[in-house]
Each structure stands twice: as structure tokens, then as C-alpha cells.
Chain A
Amino acid sequence: MANTQRPLSPHIQIYRWQAQMVSSIVHRATGIALAIGTVVVVCGLLKLAGGEASFNEFRRVIGSPIGMLLMLGWSWSLFYHLCNGIRHLIQDGGAGYQIAQFVRSSWLSAIGSVVLTVVVWAYVLTAGGAA
């Protein structure tokens, strides 16, 4: 914490939970999760460059139950950050700041991310086969 004795503004536990604040918090949280997930992208590329044995090892790790669970989390994080990121870009253009619009677009990001995640994993588990 800041080494100051001045009074602090109320922190999040003071406020009632609402879509606007949750969408913002989750945007940050998924951003942090995705930043950690960049490690997997780098590993995948290095393992693919490293030859057949190393790539198969990478595939085995990703295809393991824990690997699949992490990929599920990262795929939802990606889709949420994508949907809500597009929402923020639209808002940066000055649109959608009416409270009703703001709440509706928050829910749209959340629902859109879940739909995209379900569609992608339906494809993974049927057409693609387990990694």
C-alpha cells in the first residue's frame, strides 16, 4: 500500500456488484491471464521449430487433461478480451455511453465470449478430436 496517512477512496468492497464494473474487472483479469498465456504461444513455436520429438511432447502436454483445462480457460479469456476489447474500441469512438447501452454491451461481451468458447470447443471435441 501507499506509505501515506491520507484518507483513501472507497475500494471495490463498498460498491454493489453490477455488470459495468464486473465487465471492466474481468477485462483486466483476462488480460493478465492472456499475458501469462503468451508463454504457451512461445513454447509452441519453439517446440515446432525444435523438431518432431519436441513438437509431439508439446502436443502431449497440451492434450493432457490439465492442458485441456488450461486451454479452455485461455480460450474463454481470449474470446472475452476480444469481445469486450471491440466494445471498448467502439466506446473509445464515443458511442455507447448511455447507462442502458453500457450495461447491455457488458452483457453482450459476456454472452458473446461464452458462445464463441462453446462453438470452438464443440468443434475441437467433434471435428478436431482431442488435440
Chain B
Amino acid sequence: MNTDKLVVTDRRHPIKIARGLGSAYSGVHHWWVQRVTAAALVILGIWFVILVLGLLGADYATARTTLARPWNALLMITFVLTMFWHAKLGLQVVIEDYIHTRWKEVFALVAVYFLAVIGALASVLAVLRIALTP
């Protein structure tokens, strides 16, 4: 074997490459979930716009029975969960980029997380009430 051309280009331990977690120890998880939720929201967002446009002139009873239909209720729950998840990830990046005082940054990150969870759960609860009660 000709060893003249063996050049070390990567000085990381092989296990570090195998784990693929990079310098932040969290890998591309945040980036990837942001993209997966984005792809889902392309479909769910278009569905949501069409649903709302269909309910423009609708009265209370029509709006309620429409959303209570199994597919609509299912897609609405999927939509709000994906929407809040994507919003949380996006706002997190904005906060990390622009807030340079550590305590304010952490406070904003936790506040956004709390608000996203409460918003998502409130929405799911509302859809369940609409779908499961007459």
C-alpha cells in the first residue's frame, strides 16, 4: 500500500463522526424538525385556507358541524400542533440570533415554549369539544 498519499483531513474521533451531533451536541435535529413541520404545513396550510374560505358566510351551526366532521377535526388538530411546533422552532432561532443578554434570551425562549404549548393544548381542547359534544 502506498502510504505517501494518506493525508489526515479529519482529526475528529470516529465515534464523534458516527454520532453526528456536531459542536452543539444536538446535531441537525432542530433544523430537520423545522423542515419536516414546514413540509407538513405546506399541505395543512393550504387545507386550512380552503376550509376557512368555505366557511366565510357560514353561521355558527354550519361552522360547528363542518369542523366536527372526523377528517376536519383530525386535520385541524394536526394543523394546530404542527403550526405551534414550527412557530416555536422559528421564534427560538430569532431569539437566539437577536437577544444577546443571556437572561433575557433564556426568559424569552422559555416564555415562547410555554406559550406555544398552552396555545397548542387550548386549540386541541377546543377542537375536541367541538367534535365530541353536540
Decide whether A and B are members of one complex: yes
Q: State the interface size on chain A (CB cutoff 8 A).
A: 34
Contacts of B126 in A (CB 8 A): 42, 45-46, 48-49
Contact of B80 among A41, A51, A86 (CB under 8 A): A41
Within 8 A of B (CB), among A41-79: 41-42, 45-46, 48-49, 51-52, 55-56, 78
| Contact, CB under 8 Å: B63 / A89 | no
| Contact, CB under 8 Å: A38 / B56 | no
Within 8 A of A (CB), among B78-133: 80, 83-84, 87, 90-91, 94, 100-101, 119, 122-123, 125-127, 129-130
**B60 at interface by CB-CB < 8 Å:** yes
**A22 at interface by CB-CB < 8 Å:** no
Q: Which residue of A lies closest to B50 (CB)?
A: A120
| Contact, CB under 8 Å: A49 / B60 | no
**B49 at interface by CB-CB < 8 Å:** yes
Provide the bound-state CA to CA distance between A86 and B42, in Å.
Answer: 8
Contact of A2 among B67, B76, B100 (CB under 8 A): B100
| Contact, CB under 8 Å: B56 / A128 | yes
Which bracket fits the contact residues of B?
20 to 34
| Contact, CB under 8 Å: B87 / A120 | no
- Taking the nearest CB of chain B, how far is it from the CB of A61, in angstroms? 15
**A99 at interface by CB-CB < 8 Å:** no
| Contact, CB under 8 Å: B53 / A128 | yes
- Taking the nearest CB of chain B, how far is it from the CB of A69, in angstroms? 17
Provide the bound-state CA to CA distance between A94 and B64, in Å.
Answer: 44
Known A-B contacts A123-B53, A124-B56; A38 and B94 likewise in contact (beta carbons under 8 Å): no
| Contact, CB under 8 Å: B130 / A49 | yes
Identify the 10 closest CB pairs spanning chains A and B, nearest first: A128-B56, A45-B126, A49-B129, A49-B126, A35-B87, A2-B100, A52-B60, A55-B60, A46-B126, A31-B90
Interface residues of A (CB under 8 A from B): 1-3, 28, 31-32, 34-35, 38-39, 41-42, 45-46, 48-49, 51-52, 55-56, 78, 82, 85-86, 88-89, 92, 120, 123-124, 127-129, 131
Task: Please list 29 pairs of residues, one from A and one from B, whose beta carbons are closer than 8 Å in the complex, sorted by A's number.
Answer: A1-B100, A3-B100, A3-B101, A31-B90, A35-B87, A38-B83, A42-B123, A45-B76, A45-B122, A45-B130, A48-B64, A48-B126, A49-B126, A49-B130, A55-B63, A55-B64, A78-B49, A82-B42, A82-B46, A85-B41, A86-B42, A88-B38, A89-B39, A92-B35, A123-B53, A127-B56, A128-B57, A129-B56, A129-B57
